[in-house]
Amino acid sequence: MKVVCLNLNGSAGGFFSFIYLGDSVVKMQSIWTKLGKRLILFVFMIFLLSVAVFYVARLTPGDPLQSFFGDAMETMSTEQLDAARERLGLTGPIYLQYVRWIAKVCKGDFGLSLRYKKPVSQVVGPLLGNTLILGVTAYALVFLLAIGLALICVRYEDRFIDKLICRLGTTAFYVPAFWLGVVLVLLFSVNLRWLPSSGAYGLGKASDLPDRFKHLIMPLAVMILSHLWYYGYMIRNKLLDEVRRDYVLLARTKGLGKTEVLVKHCFRNVLPTIVSVMAISIPHVLSGTYVAETVFNYPGIGLLAVNSAKYHDYNLLMVMVLITGALVILAGMSAQFINEIIDPRMRELDEAGIKIADA
């Protein structure tokens, strides 16, 4: 039996219970209660987010009917317009519109896209896959490469290879992504004619994998180059601070190799930071898909979002904001969760019941 103090009230309360239990049981319980609390919080945050976006979207100038009917609107009578407003859920005060919208969403009906005149799920569905392919591949490659490069840089700090990686990485990061894309198109599509300049696949080649891969090369290159060193540098910075700690000296004097200390000790200590950074980075990488998709005319939700915001397609925009928002909040929560498992320092306060900040 081990003595464990557990703060049942989580982070919000000031009441502390002290429970004597086996180690594993306490861990399970604390994880499940935390998970439950976070789920409630998650639903609440999604609700807040949807309210905020709904209001912002309705406040924007520009009549949504204009984007739905286009020029045909001028020939329509007032009654017809009112009927159309009714049908699209644009009548009444905003909070009523919101209540009606949320009631429909609960039934799985996200409304009509104002621009494409189709249910939103039909518009977003086929494009979601394209963006996921691009986004997930880029995300994974960016972090794998960033961690690898950061480790190499710290292992050979201030040597030639470190300086070279830093110089190249910084240059690549600060070249604006859209300009890099345009220059790549100018070079490889317009002049050399090696790679296609736009789209996700050639005409009628949707299931042709090599063709898809060809279309992915340039958007991927742009996304990786423009995000890689942002994270690589962050990780390198953290690692550089870490290798100046005393325990590194101790490990070295005990005879451990440089690489071993770096990978097994320093990297492990920096891991919570990397996990947090990975969670924060999802919207950043998603922003990257916006630019990459717009430059290369890649049919994904990034391009769709830019267009639908331009055309005041609220229903579409709402769903997209909610999708990305849900994704990010989930990631942020799991990052916090993983961090508490990796790094006991993070829950020290909760467990010991010492809350200096509340004093």
Partner 1 sequence: MSGVEANDRLETVSGADADDSLETVGGADADDRFEMVGPDYVKRESAVKVATFRDWFKGKPIIACLVFTLILMGCLFAEFLINHDPSQFYLTNLNQPPNSEFYFGTDSMGRDIYSIIWQGGRASLLIGVLSTIILTVVGVIYGCLSGSTGSFGDNVMMRAVELVQSIPTLLMILLIISLMATQNVLSISFVIGITAWFALARIVRSEVRQIRNSEYVLASRCMGSSFLFRMRKHLIPNFVSAIMFVVISSVATNIGMESTLSFLGLGLPVEVLSWGSMLALADRALLLNTWWVIVIPGAFLVVTLLCLTQMGNFFRERTNRRPSNI
Give yes or no for a contact between 257 and 155, defined as CB atoms under 8 angstroms apart: no
**Token pair recorded at residue 7:** 């703060």
Our measurement of the distance from residue 273's CA atom to the centroid of its chain's CA atoms, rounded to an integer in Å, reads 16
Q: Which stretch binds partner 1 (CB under 8 A): 104-112, 139-147, 212-220, 259-267?
A: 259-267
Among 309, 338, 340, 351, binds partner 1 (CB under 8 A): 309
Question: Does 40 interact with partner 1 (rule: CB under 8 A)?
Answer: no
Which among 224, 46, 53 is positioned nearest to 148, based on CA atoms? 224
Question: Does 61 interact with partner 1 (rule: CB under 8 A)?
Answer: yes
Size of the site for partner 1 (CB under 8 A): 75
87-106 residues in contact with partner 1 (CB under 8 A) are none
What distance in Å separates the CA atoms of residue 348 and residue 354, rounded to the nearest whole number?
Answer: 9
* Tokens 């999802």 -> residue: 282
Among 190, 263, 341, 352, binds partner 1 (CB under 8 A): 190
Q: What share of the chain is helix, strand, coil (3-state, %, to 5)?
A: 75, 5, 20
Among 6, 30, 49, 150, binds partner 1 (CB under 8 A): 49
Amino acid (one-letter) located at 41: L
114-143 residues in contact with partner 1 (CB under 8 A) are none
Question: Does 177 interact with partner 1 (rule: CB under 8 A)?
Answer: yes
Among 224, 286, 292, 316, binds partner 1 (CB under 8 A): 286
Q: Between residues 118 and 345, which has the closer beta carbon with respect to partner 1? A: 345
Mark 335-354 with x for binding to partner 1 (rule: CB under 8 A) and - for no binding: --------------x-----
Q: Is 9 helix (H, G, I), strand (E, B) or coil?
A: coil
Our measurement of the distance from residue 173's CA atom to the centroid of its chain's CA atoms, rounded to an integer in Å, reads 19
Give yes or no for a contact between 296 and 218, defined as CB atoms under 8 angstroms apart: yes
Question: Does 237 interact with partner 1 (rule: CB under 8 A)?
Answer: yes
What distance in Å separates the CA atoms of residue 191 and residue 358, rounded to the nearest whole number?
Answer: 64
Q: Between residues 212 and 355, which has the closer beta carbon with respect to partner 1? A: 355
Q: Which stretch binds partner 1 (CB under 8 A): 107-115, 125-133, 172-180, 199-207?
A: 172-180
Nearest distance from C-beta of residue 186 to partner 1, angstroms: 6
Q: Which long-range contacts (CB under 8 A, 24 or more apart) does 88-91 make?
A: 88/64, 88/112, 88/114, 90/64, 90/65
Nearest distance from C-beta of residue 10 to partner 1, angstroms: 9
Among 175, 271, 338, 342, binds partner 1 (CB under 8 A): 175
